[in-house]
């Protein structure tokens, strides 16, 4: 196995005026499962293709283990790639598809058969080895593509949105299989997806890209609890974090009809930049409903907090998500609040919500950087 290092790797497409990937710096540990995630056009697939040798690196370097592979052809990099569209040969059986790369490499037939049978056993494909791809379901074809990568025993697996052609239920099932398989094999894996739920559930670490620039690389838990900037805060989490621009007030922030205490250093950092407002991030599960409670209200004529008009409620059984609108300054702001499954409000009703103490995230409105600890 091996580590993978992107050392200020940059890719500028011919005729492009800015890099598709700009000075990417990531070190992937030996045996680690790293997920590259971001919106369409953020550079995640380009980064993977640079590692595979399918895209040129204009500056910087890429290393696999101690080897500099920046300018090596794909066949010399000791990597195996799993594509979005499976890329199976339709006229070959499953066994021939899985063993084809070994055949081209001159491996003897007995060794090919042994490796194919071992991979088929791991992937529960043994009974399908004599079938052609057209006789398989989408999930089975994807497992064949995985098997083709496994038999090569590469140093690094590269996976480019391998689940995007599957239906929702099969996607959940297959991502669990891929994650557990990777842990069993211990092969360093770089996995690209646009689905942040996939990223959070599969990766040892997640790297978020935007416009070709790395925003943050961290464990899923740390990224959820401490997003580095407004973009990551709004991208990671389903439903997404609520982001509300609010004025600084009495050492805290004015949140509707209440003052919410936030980290003092965050308020000071904003003041040092000359900002009079900050952007506060609150996860849907970190709102408290303060209906009727005026004890902490700035004006005793109304309950504390921000008044949210309920537009839609998603009932999920154990809990529910309220999608509502609040008046923040002169603007209407959409908010999502998680509520208990037995406390579902009526559509059109008004909730007064306050962020839970210690569960707020504070960002600079001007730069987007995180201010709270």
Q: Are residues 43 and 167 in the same domain?
A: yes
Is 372 a domain residue?
A: no
The Cα 344–Cα 365 span in angstroms is 33
Which has the higher per-residue pLDDT, 119 or 303?
Answer: 119
Q: Are residues 83 and 108 in the same domain?
A: yes
Which has the higher per-residue pLDDT, 166 or 133?
Answer: 133
Task: Tell me which of 234, 266, 284 is where a domain ends.
Answer: 234
Residues 282-334: tens digit of each pLDDT: 999 999 988 766 666 566 666 778 999 999 999 988 899 999 999 888 889 99
Sheet of strand 67-68, all strands in order from the earlier edge strand to the far edge = 21-28, 4-11, 59-64, 67-68
We report the CATH number of the domain holding residue 328 as 2.40.50.140
Q: Are residues 101 and 249 in the same domain?
A: no
Q: Are residues 183 and 57 in the same domain?
A: yes
Write down the number of H helices and E strands in the chain. 9, 20
Q: Are residues 14 and 104 in the same domain?
A: yes
What's the pLDDT band for 171 if we cut at 50, 70, 90? confident
Residues 31-90: tens digit of each pLDDT: 999 999 999 999 999 999 999 999 999 999 999 999 999 999 998 999 999 988 888 999
Share of the chain above pLDDT 70, in %: 97
Is 369 a domain residue?
A: no
Exposure b/e, 264-279, CB count within 10 A at least 16 = b: eebbebbeeeebebbb
Nearest Cα to Cα of residue 161 among 259, 77, 85: 85
Task: Tell me which of 209, 234, 259 is where a domain ends.
Answer: 234
Q: Are residues 212 and 259 in the same domain?
A: no
Please report the pLDDT score of residue 139 as a whole number: 87
Contact 20, 13 (CB under 8 A): yes
Please report the pLDDT score of residue 330 as a whole number: 81
**In the predicted model, is pLDDT for residue 134 greater than 80?**
yes
Q: Are residues 128 and 211 in the same domain?
A: yes
**In the predicted model, is pLDDT for residue 98 greater than 90?**
yes
Task: Tell me which of 180, 212, 234 is where a domain ends.
Answer: 234
* Token pair 């950092």 in the structure block, residue: 269
Q: Are residues 50 and 179 in the same domain?
A: yes
Please report the pLDDT score of residue 1 as a whole number: 66
Give the chain's domain count.
2
For residues 83-101, give the mean pLDDT: 91
Residues 335-364: tens digit of each pLDDT: 999 998 888 888 999 999 999 988 999 999
Please report the pLDDT score of residue 322 as a whole number: 95
Please report the pLDDT score of residue 219 as a whole number: 96
Please report the pLDDT score of residue 167 as a whole number: 84
| Residue 177: domain span | 4-234
Q: Are residues 143 and 160 in the same domain?
A: yes
Please report the pLDDT score of residue 253 as a whole number: 86
């Amino acid at each position: 196995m091996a580590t993978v290092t992107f050392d200020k790797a940059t890719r500028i497409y011919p005729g492009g005026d800015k890099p598709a990937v700009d000075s990417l710096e990531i070190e992937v540990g030996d045996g680690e499962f790293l997920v590259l995630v971001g919106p369409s056009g953020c550079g995640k697939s380009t980064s993977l293709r640079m590692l595979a040798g399918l895209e040129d690196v204009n500056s910087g370097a890429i290393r696999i283990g101690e080897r500099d592979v920046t300018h090596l052809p794909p066949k010399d990099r000791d990597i195996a790639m799993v594509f979005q569209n499976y890329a199976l040969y339709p006229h070959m059986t499953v066994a021939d598809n899985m063993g084809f790369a070994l055949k081209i490499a001159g491996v003897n037939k007995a060794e090919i058969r042994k490796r194919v049978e071992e991979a088929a056993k791991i992937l529960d494909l043994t009974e399908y080895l004599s079938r052609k791809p057209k006789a398989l379901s989408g999930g089975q074809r994807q497992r064949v593509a995985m098997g083709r990568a496994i038999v090569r025993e590469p140093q690094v697996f590269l996976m480019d949105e391998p689940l995007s052609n599957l239906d929702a239920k099969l996607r959940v099932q297959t991502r669990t299989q891929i994650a557990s398989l990777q842990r069993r094999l211990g092969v360093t894996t770089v996995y690209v997806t646009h689905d942040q739920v996939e990223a959070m559930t599969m990766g040892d670490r997640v790297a978020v890209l935007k416009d070709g620039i790395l925003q943050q690389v961290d464990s899923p838990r740390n990224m959820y609890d401490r997003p580095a900037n407004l973009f990551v805060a709004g991208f990671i989490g389903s439903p997404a974090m609520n982001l509300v621009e609010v004025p600084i007030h009495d050492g805290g922030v004015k949140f509707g009809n209440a003052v919410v205490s936030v980290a003092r250093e965050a308020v000071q950092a904003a003041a040092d930049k000359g900002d009079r407002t900050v952007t506060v991030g609150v996860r849907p599960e970190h709102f408290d409903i303060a209906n009727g409670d005026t004890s902490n209200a700035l004006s005793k004529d109304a309950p504390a907090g921000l008044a949210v008009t309920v537009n839609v409620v998603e009932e999920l059984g154990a809990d529910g998500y309220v999608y509502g609108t609040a008046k923040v300054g002169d603007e209407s702001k959409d908010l999502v609040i998680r509520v208990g499954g037995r406390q579902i409000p009526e559509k059109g009703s008004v909730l007064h919500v306050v962020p839970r103490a210690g569960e707020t995230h504070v960002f600079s409105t001007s730069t987007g950087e995180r201010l709270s600890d």
